[in-house]
């Protein structure tokens, strides 16, 4: 009994696939389209649904193009997970070399819509099947929702422009990593976390340099001033003469021989 339990436990750790690195897809059929319950299958979208990969929506990172090592996948997944924890938005990242005949925008949106992701979320696709790589960022949510206000078209364009430099250079991990950072950065900008976008498009902390310099200057001046004054007092040599201790107290003899009034003056007080 104990032996079989041990084998089950070991099997779990040895053979359970890593949660964040998956290329598993499930076959869609006309009997089972594998779409979320709110998606209505019609003649118009039926073919699109069938051509869209069906995935486990909990996996979040779908590296069909095999761009990342296991370690990189773990790293990216951790950051995605952190971001999802902060924002409560869903995030999916897809890499592929085959878009099943879709253009990248349709492929990305269908991927998000026809799998069971949250109503509000962001999906990022890297396509490497053409001459040049292509990337796309889809934002899902109602038009007036918060997520739409955070990831505006302008910010989406700005993000893609920045990330594309890395993709073009073949730094897929770095570019994807930056993408997640920027997602988080935009979210934090809009939640008063003091972030700004620098000249190169990076989302960076808005450090109040002027205030820090003023604070450091003022405080260091005050500290040095107080220290100098305190140490000045400490440094002054306290000269003393111990002659008093040399006086033989038994020998003190002072007698008043005379104490006479010699004059008396009365004057008006001022």
Partner 1 sequence: MYQEDEHNSYGIASRKFHCRDCNANFLSLGSKVVEHCCVCNSANIESVNDVFEKKPFIVPFKKSLEDAKNDYRSKVLFHPLVPFVFKSKATIESIHKVYLPVFVVDATVEGNIDFLAGDKTNIMKEKVQFVETKKYSVLQKVRLNFRNIILNLTSKIQDKLFHTVCDYQFDSILDFEPSLLEDSSVLVADKDIKEVAESGRNRIMKHSLNIAKSNIQHALKKLNANEASVNFSNSKEVLVPVYLLLIRYKDKEYVYLMNGESGVVSSELVFGMTEIILFSLAMFGLIFLIAFLIAYYL
Whole-number Å distance between alpha carbons of 65 and 94: 9
| 251 lines the binding site for partner 1 (CB under 8 A) | yes
Whichever of 161 and 206 has its CB closer to partner 1, that residue is 206
| 154 lines the binding site for partner 1 (CB under 8 A) | no
Tell me how far, at minimum, the Cβ of 21 lies from partner 1, in Å: 31
Specify the stretch interacting with partner 1 by CB under 8 A; choose among 71-79, 85-93, 117-125, 200-208.
Answer: 200-208
Tell me how far, at minimum, the Cβ of 166 lies from partner 1, in Å: 24
Tell me how far, at minimum, the Cβ of 86 lies from partner 1, in Å: 15
Structure tokens at 160: 């893609």
> Exposed, middle or buried by CB within 10 Å (0-12, 13-18, 19+), for 186?
buried
Angle at 168 between CA 151 and CA 101, to 5 degrees: 75
| 16 lines the binding site for partner 1 (CB under 8 A) | no
Structure tokens at 93: 């990242």
Whichever of 1 and 237 has its CB closer to partner 1, that residue is 237
Specify the stretch interacting with partner 1 by CB under 8 A; choose among 19-27, 64-72, 78-86, 206-214.
Answer: 206-214
User: What is each CA distance from 144 to 89, 170, 182, 234, 257, in whole angstroms?
Assistant: 15, 36, 22, 68, 107
Whole-number Å distance between alpha carbons of 124 and 181: 13
Tell me how far, at minimum, the Cβ of 82 lies from partner 1, in Å: 15
Residue 127 has φ and ψ, to the nearest 5°, of -115, 125
Site map 208..227 versus partner 1, x via CB under 8 A:
x---xx-xxx-xxx-xx--x
Whichever of 168 and 193 has its CB closer to partner 1, that residue is 193
| 200 lines the binding site for partner 1 (CB under 8 A) | no
Please work out the total of residues on this chain that contact partner 1, with binding judged by CB under 8 A: 50
Counting every residue written for the chain, the total comes to 270
How distant is the alpha carbon of residue 143 from its chain centre? 26
Helix H or strand E encompassing 121: strand 121-127
| 44 lines the binding site for partner 1 (CB under 8 A) | no
| 29 lines the binding site for partner 1 (CB under 8 A) | no
Tell me how far, at minimum, the Cβ of 216 lies from partner 1, in Å: 4
Whole-number Å distance between alpha carbons of 145 and 176: 25
Nearest to 212 by CA among 194, 198, 225, 229: 194
| 86 lines the binding site for partner 1 (CB under 8 A) | no
Determine the 3-state secondary structure of 136 from DSSP. Answer: strand
Which residues lie near partner 1 (CB under 8 A)?
194, 205, 207-208, 212-213, 215-217, 219-221, 223-224, 227-228, 231-232, 235, 237-248, 251-269
């Amino acid at each position: 009994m104990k032996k079989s339990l041990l084998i089950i436990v070991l099997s779990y750790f040895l053979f359970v696939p890593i949660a964040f690195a998956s290329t598993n897809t499930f076959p869609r059929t006309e009997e089972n389209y594998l779409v979320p319950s709110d998606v209505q299958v019609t003649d118009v979208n039926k073919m699109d649904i069938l051509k869209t990969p069906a995935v486990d929506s909990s996996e979040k990172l779908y590296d069909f193009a095999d761009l990342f090592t296991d370690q990189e996948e773990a790293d990216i997944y951790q950051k995605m997970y952190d971001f999802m924890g902060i924002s409560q938005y869903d995030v999916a990242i897809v890499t592929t070399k085959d878009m099943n005949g879709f253009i990248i925008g349709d492929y990305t949106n269908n991927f998000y819509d026809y799998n069971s992701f949250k109503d509000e979320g962001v999906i990022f696709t890297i396509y490497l099947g053409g001459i040049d790589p292509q990337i796309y960022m889809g934002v899902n949510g109602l038009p007036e929702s918060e997520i739409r206000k955070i990831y505006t078209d302008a910010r989406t364009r700005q993000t893609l422009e920045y990330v594309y430099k890395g993709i073009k250079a073949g730094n897929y991990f770095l570019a994807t990593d930056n993408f997640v950072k920027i997602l988080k950065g935009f979210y934090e900008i809009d939640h008063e976390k003091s972030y700004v976008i620098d000249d190169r498009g990076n989302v960076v902390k808005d450090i109040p340099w002027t205030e820090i310099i003023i604070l450091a200057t003022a405080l260091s001046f005050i500290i040095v001033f107080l220290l100098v004054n305190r140490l000045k007092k400490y440094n002054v040599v306290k000269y003393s003469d111990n002659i008093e201790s040399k006086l033989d107290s038994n020998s003190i003899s002072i007698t008043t021989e005379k104490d006479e009034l010699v004059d008396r003056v009365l004057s008006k007080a001022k």
